[in-house]
Structure 1
Amino acid sequence: MCLVHRVRRFYCRFPAVRGQTKRRAVRSQPAARIKSGRVYDDQRCSRVSSYPVGFPIERPMQSTFRRSTLAALRGFALPSDAISIVPSAADYRRCLLEKIASATRRIYIIALYLQQDEAGQEILDALYAAKAARPELDVVVLVDWFRAQRGLIGAGRQPGNSTWYQAQNLEYDEEVPIYGVPVQTRELFGVLHLKGSVIDDCVIYSGASINNVYLHKLDKYRLDRYHLIESAPLADSFEHLVQREILPSAAVHRLDLQSPPSSRSLRSEIRAFRSDLKRATYDTSAGDKENGQLRVIPLLGVGPRNSLNRVICDLIASSKIQLTICTPYFNLPVAVTREVNRALKRGVKVDIIIGDKTANDFFIDPDEPFKVISALPYLYEISLRRFAHKHQKAIAQQRLNVHLWKHGDNTFHLKGIWVDQRYTLLTGNNLNPRAFNLDLENGLLIDDPQGQWTDPREAEIAQLMRNTQRVNQYDELDTLANYPEGVRKFLKRVSRVRVERLLYRIL
């Protein structure tokens, strides 16, 4: 079933999303009264809820941070030379291959997908070669369960990558187990979006999956961030999560073996697994709370109001001078938008780096036949235009700077947050409602209170700013009238039936 049909079927199950006015049931409270469709408590007169029943959209987080939670986070101390930044996708591919070839104890590869193409074959061959050279190596590959068993979106019926995994398993004598991890009973409502591979005592953190474009194997690349962090306790905490929280689950199965169970047969196990993941954390018992030293703090989150979401909002709320945000899809959650607005009001300079719509991985040339998935870049541009229109005064005063990235036919996949001269967040979180509610996400927060890592940090931002152009006026961005005919018709249709807001929350 195609993506739009899945959305339509799910959407039809929840009439409240279509504009009906039913409200959530509110627990009985003494002296409760109703005013303007909202429930109030007479004693405190505080608004409780005004959300419709239906799809589990995120609730806005508490807007007033009584105290920062950042100081209480436990992390692992690092020397300033423990963090290395890899400058490009091609360098990242070479680095990954070198690390795999030199591994002596463990290799844990975690990605949304390992694609059957030249780059994917190169990585998988390297894993089998490393295992053959050192049979004692602990090798584990994690990919999303659903993504591995389907073809590319919009490409028609195709065998998934799991068929290739099984063929490779039969071809080699060594075992390189590839596990499929289901985060939700359907891919549309949640995927494995964890980042960070472990090779010996090095954590290789990037938002990139494994295919030709992410690894710049051929002529095109997809720009991301690539960091190497040498830290044995951090690597141990990543391995601990996989071995204690993921692999023991009855929902997780090897995809490189013949005849894996059907997704339908695993529904109850998947639901139980997701429930367990909501309580899971990285083991930071060997770490320290804020101590004035350079630290790295691993974070995990799935579902609304998780700890990673809270830290993201707390980070933005803590900004005093400078806030920089990268996201490939401009569709900020309510809580993030609120904190960005507040940062602007208190005088923080805000830079947002976003890919131009033509640098979006879902963009299709207007001369090609229209596909539903190709409308997504235009939806994101509409969202960006609204935001820029609202903040045109701040843009004119250069307190808000929106930078659009474009470099030939290459695509943009950056995500992350930089706060003042202290905090840097590495994450695969796209800073959108889907990431805040549905997918299994993680991140690494680098806390640098003494500025030990300032130069590499600033150099990375400068590198990412290359090939960007500042938006000086909101009307520099295209409108519906400028879009291709197929996109215009589709967006008008979804707007008319009020499914647009649902699309923003799940895509």
Structure 2
Amino acid sequence: MPSLFKRSLLPKLRSFPLSAEAVSILSGAAEFRRCLLEKIAGATQRIYIVALYLQQDEAGQEILDALHAAKLARPELDVVVVVDWLRAQRGLIGAGKQPGNAAWYQEMTRTHASEVPVYGVPVQTRELFGVLHLKGFVIDDCVIYSGASLNNVYLHKFDKYRYDRYHLLHNRALADSMQHLVQHGLVASKAVHRLDLPNLPTTRSLRGDIGDLRSRLKHAAYDTTAGTQEKTGLTVSPLLGVGKNNPLSRVICELIASAQDQLTICTPYFNLPLAVTREINRALARGVKIDIVVGDKTANDFYIPPSEPFKVISALPYLYEISLRRFAKRHQSHIDKGQLNLHLWRDGDNTYHLKGMWVDQRYTLLTGNNLNPRAFRLDLENALLIDDPQSELVGPRRNELAEIFQHTRRIERFQDLETLVEYPAGVAKFLKRVSRVRIERLLYRML
């Protein structure tokens, strides 16, 4: 269809040809953990791990031990771990003062004969204003793409899991492109330092280098010169974005604008940017059927049961529910017709972390982007766009969506969602205060 955008990016994207046999979709977090450990153990050329964090817990220890074992067995192996600089130097939210994961990285390097460098990338001088939110592990010629970070719950080490998407793409050109960005766009920067070595520089001392890195990243892109602009067969395009009006955010809006029949969106935190809301409204107006899958507030990773002491962070799931209720109320007529379907995901005490989009029978977007203002303006994000004009992946795509919908219920009326008077006392009191001083809108932009 003709583009609705004056400077459309979608038709101009260069992409790598992909075979249907080269794409696998894993069914859950436990399988993701087993696959990751298996791939690390069998690596012969390179292992590039990029995540928001690699946590000091049993699952994190298992991953880091596996990386050291692989390096010890094959010293020529190129092993690199990249995490967010600021996140690695603080403890868990609400857990009091802790040394952070950096101290653990240093102890692992000190006590192992092998060397696994862990680099910290400072996207901003304060975590609130932007973090490294890139996804994708490169192991030899395979890209393992998921929104998950690395800890017990994301890897389903014990009884609880955090549900995400898990894709394997065997494609050397894609793997080379993603490694090249990490190696030359991140690790080579003066702002990036190894967290596994002692005597870390202060963030304040890096302010100039951090500003330079962020400026460069705003104009950076994955190297797709080995790709093609042909759109006749199955392809994959890597996308990068940070800052206002970045290419990834623009492509997300263009994908929604391109939908003619059906659009499915997953996001764990319902707080859509204005540009996304606008394109969803336009899609509804032209008759597109839209399914949006979000986590129930109790399946949010910030949720704290009412039986536990109130913490400010525990108000976030309720803020997202308020946003969802407003959206549902505005579109109740579309919900009544079955054109708009809002689905709440919940499976016991487990949590929900899915992101991404499915557009008609053609496009599938794999991303860690939460489709919120923070992702569109502050964090460093990426995505893989699979273009399937011949419907070669229709079976795996259908199966993945069936698994996602397995633990969902449809919102029939906006009144199905709770209101402020039904919230726990501590949450209600905080949200009333926030609304009274009019900082609610600022919170939606930052969180």
Whether these two folds match at TM > 0.5 is yes
Alignment of 1:313-332 (within 5 A): 313-332=253-272
The answer (yes or no) to whether the contact 2:22–2:169 under 8 Å persists in 1 is: yes
Match of 2:276 among 319, 333, 336: 336
Find out whether 1:166 has 2:106 as its counterpart: yes
Find out whether 1:236 has 2:197 as its counterpart: no
Show the counterpart of 1:429: 369
Find out whether 1:111 has 2:88 as its counterpart: no
Show the counterpart of 1:378: 318
Alignment of 1:11-410 (within 5 A): 64-66=4-6, 68-410=8-350
Q: 2:323 aligns to what SS in structure 1?
A: helix
- Looking at structure 1, the residues matched to 378 and 405 of structure 2 have their Cα atoms a distance apart, in angstroms, of 30
Match of 1:456 among 378, 388, 396: 396
- Looking at structure 1, the residues matched to 254 and 119 of structure 2 have their Cα atoms a distance apart, in angstroms, of 34
- Looking at structure 2, the residues matched to 242 and 223 of structure 1 have their Cα atoms a distance apart, in angstroms, of 26
- AA aligned to 1:269 is D
Q: 1:156 aligns to what SS in structure 2?
A: coil
- Looking at structure 1, the residues matched to 241 and 19 of structure 2 have their Cα atoms a distance apart, in angstroms, of 27
Shift of 1:69: 3.0
Q: Tell me the number of residue pairs that the alignment of Structure 1 and Structure 2 aligns.
A: 445
Match of 2:435 among 476, 495, 505: 495
1:15-38 CA distance string (max 9 Å, x none): xxxxxxxxxxxxxxxxxxxxxxxx
- Looking at structure 2, the residues matched to 288 and 459 of structure 1 have their Cα atoms a distance apart, in angstroms, of 29
- AA aligned to 1:195 is K
- Looking at structure 2, the residues matched to 179 and 69 of structure 1 have their Cα atoms a distance apart, in angstroms, of 32
1:367-397 CA distance string (max 9 Å, x none): 1000000000000000000000000000010
- Looking at structure 2, the residues matched to 449 and 125 of structure 1 have their Cα atoms a distance apart, in angstroms, of 42
- Looking at structure 1, the residues matched to 359 and 42 of structure 2 have their Cα atoms a distance apart, in angstroms, of 36
- AA aligned to 1:502 is L
Shift of 1:68: 4.7
- AA aligned to 2:42 is S
Show the counterpart of 1:36: none
- AA aligned to 2:361 is Q
The answer (yes or no) to whether the contact 2:135–2:146 under 8 Å persists in 1 is: yes
Shift of 1:66: 4.1
- Looking at structure 2, the residues matched to 448 and 239 of structure 1 have their Cα atoms a distance apart, in angstroms, of 24
Shift of 1:290: 3.0
The answer (yes or no) to whether the contact 1:71–1:290 under 8 Å persists in 2 is: no
The answer (yes or no) to whether the contact 1:146–1:186 under 8 Å persists in 2 is: yes
Q: 1:323 aligns to what SS in structure 2?
A: strand
- Looking at structure 2, the residues matched to 64 and 84 of structure 1 have their Cα atoms a distance apart, in angstroms, of 33
Q: 2:55 aligns to what SS in structure 1?
A: coil
Percentage of pairs with the same residue: 70
- Looking at structure 2, the residues matched to 193 and 67 of structure 1 have their Cα atoms a distance apart, in angstroms, of 26
- Looking at structure 2, the residues matched to 383 and 318 of structure 1 have their Cα atoms a distance apart, in angstroms, of 25
1:342-372 CA distance string (max 9 Å, x none): 0000000000000000000000000100000
The answer (yes or no) to whether the contact 2:300–2:317 under 8 Å persists in 1 is: yes
TM-score, length basis structure 2? 0.99
The answer (yes or no) to whether the contact 2:231–2:389 under 8 Å persists in 1 is: no
- Looking at structure 1, the residues matched to 317 and 306 of structure 2 have their Cα atoms a distance apart, in angstroms, of 12
* The structure with more radius of gyration: 1
Shift of 1:70: 1.6
Shift of 1:291: 3.0
1:82-105 CA distance string (max 9 Å, x none): 110010100000000000000000
- Looking at structure 2, the residues matched to 204 and 238 of structure 1 have their Cα atoms a distance apart, in angstroms, of 11
The answer (yes or no) to whether the contact 2:9–2:247 under 8 Å persists in 1 is: no
The answer (yes or no) to whether the contact 2:25–2:396 under 8 Å persists in 1 is: yes
- Looking at structure 1, the residues matched to 8 and 440 of structure 2 have their Cα atoms a distance apart, in angstroms, of 35
Q: Structure 2 unaligned segments of length 5 or more: list them.
A: none
The answer (yes or no) to whether the contact 1:73–1:290 under 8 Å persists in 2 is: no
Show the counterpart of 2:412: 472
Q: 1:456 aligns to what SS in structure 2?
A: helix
Q: 1:304 aligns to what SS in structure 2?
A: coil
Q: 1:97 aligns to what SS in structure 2?
A: helix
When residues 483 and 457 of structure 1 are mapped into structure 2, their CA distance, relative to the original with a 3 A threshold, is: same
- AA aligned to 1:84 is S
Moved over 6 A (4+): none
Q: Structure 1 unaligned segments of length 5 or more: list them.
A: 1-62
- AA aligned to 1:162 is A
Q: 1:404 aligns to what SS in structure 2?
A: strand
Shift of 1:329: 0.1
Show the counterpart of 1:445: 385
- Looking at structure 2, the residues matched to 339 and 67 of structure 1 have their Cα atoms a distance apart, in angstroms, of 16
- Looking at structure 2, the residues matched to 331 and 68 of structure 1 have their Cα atoms a distance apart, in angstroms, of 25
Shift of 1:453: 1.0
Shift of 1:259: 1.2
- Looking at structure 1, the residues matched to 7 and 234 of structure 2 have their Cα atoms a distance apart, in angstroms, of 21
